[in-house]
Amino acid sequence: MSRLIVSPGKPADGATPMVSVSPESAGWKYVGFETYRLKAGEKLIRSTESNEVCLVLVAGKAHVKTSNREWRDVGQRMSVFEGKPPSAVYVPNGDRYEVEAITELELAVCQAPGYGNHAARLILPEQIGVEVRGQGTTQRFIHNILPEQQPADSLLVVEVFTPAGHWSSYPPHKHDKDALPEESLLEETYYYRVEPEQGFAIQRVYTDDRSLDETLAVKDGEVVLVPEGYHPVSAPPGYQVYYLNVMAGPTRTWKFRNDPDHEWIAKAGQVPAK
């Protein structure tokens, strides 16, 4: 198994993550990521400590509360492949959250360093920017859950739907150097769902000098770590591919560099984006 893939386990209860990525386990500094599957009535209670958190209700409904706020009946979509945006809750560092599942709930917990600059808030589906990027077989559908235009200290969170037979995160691009304004250093996780679930996605992660060069067959529920390098994705014919991206680094901005070998694709009219 590649060191870049984190596979889901079989937790005994909803308080144990299906997958768990920390800066320590990934060997980097900023991004943490977990997913949970809760049954109706189960609760997840955590302190944020030094991290800000974005709770993404991938599928299902829940009550969510923090130290000072509470929201009832959060969530509208019951399947990630309904195509509509999710609901999410931003929780600052030095706070706590309690999520009580109303239905079966798939929950993503996105984490990065927080500095106490923002209050807890609910992010409704209608507040999430929806866009289409690319054309032809690079067309994909984007939900900007926590983009840089919205308040947070470190986190950038976005989900992408790639139709069967299409490519995304394409042309290949990277963001692994702190070289603003041209490029920002951002660690990144990809959390995958595949429909039908027996399918897979293909992701390549590679650097200019090929010191890192892996091509991965990624299954439903797995997470891919992108510590550096270019990272294009392909959805095989017959299988829809969803992924949830979490990015963070020393500066909260997304500036990327296309692979020079494939820059011509962007110049020919393809959109160089997630």
Tokens of 228: 């550096």
Whether 8 is in a domain gets the answer no
What pLDDT, in 10s, does the model give residues 165-180? 999 999 999 999 999 9
Question: In angstroms, what CA-CA distances link 164 with 87, 142, 181, 240?
Answer: 25, 15, 35, 5
Does residue 112 register a pLDDT over 80?
yes
The count of structural domains within the chain is: 1
Whether 7 is in a domain gets the answer no
What pLDDT, in 10s, does the model give residues 191-243? 999 999 999 999 999 999 999 999 999 999 999 999 999 999 999 999 999 99
Task: Give the domain extent around 47.
Answer: 13-267
User: What mean pLDDT do residues 14-40 have?
Assistant: 96
Whether 226 is in a domain gets the answer yes
Whether 66 is in a domain gets the answer yes
Does residue 159 register a pLDDT over 60?
yes
What pLDDT does residue 64 have?
98
What pLDDT does residue 100 have?
98
User: What mean pLDDT do residues 54-73 have?
Assistant: 98
Does residue 256 register a pLDDT over 60?
yes
Q: Please state the pTM of the whole predicted model.
A: 0.96
What pLDDT does residue 172 have?
96
Task: Count Cβ atoms within 10 A of the Cβ of residue 23 and give its class: 0-12 exposed, 13-18 middle, 19 or more buried.
Answer: middle
Rounded CA-CA distance 125/268 in Å is: 33
Band of the pLDDT at 11, cuts 50, 70, 90? confident
Does residue 1 register a pLDDT over 80?
no
Whether 152 is in a domain gets the answer yes
In this prediction, what percent of the chain has a pLDDT beyond 70?
Answer: 98
Band of the pLDDT at 269, cuts 50, 70, 90? low
What pLDDT does residue 267 have?
80
Does residue 272 register a pLDDT over 80?
no
Does residue 164 register a pLDDT over 70?
yes
User: What mean pLDDT do residues 110-130 have?
Assistant: 97
User: What mean pLDDT do residues 237-256 have?
Assistant: 98
Whether 274 is in a domain gets the answer no
Fill in the amino acid letter for 117.
N
Whether 5 is in a domain gets the answer no
What is the separation, in whole angstroms, between the first and last Cα of the chain?
A: 25
Residue whose token pair is 């293909």? 202
Rounded CA-CA distance 122/76 in Å is: 13
Element (H, E) at 141: strand 140-146
Rounded CA-CA distance 54/189 in Å is: 14
User: What mean pLDDT do residues 145-154 have?
Assistant: 97
User: What mean pLDDT do residues 51-56 have?
Assistant: 98
**H runs (alpha helix) in the chain:** 23-26, 263-267
Asked if the peptide bond before residue 171 counts as cis, ω within 30 degrees of 0, the response is yes
Tell me phi and psi for residue 157, to 5 degrees.
-135, 130
Closest CA to 5 of 168, 213, 226: 226
Tell me phi and psi for residue 257, to 5 degrees.
-125, 125
Whether 22 is in a domain gets the answer yes
Domain harbouring 109, CATH code? 2.60.120.10
Band of the pLDDT at 14, cuts 50, 70, 90? confident
Closest CA to 171 of 252, 234, 248: 234
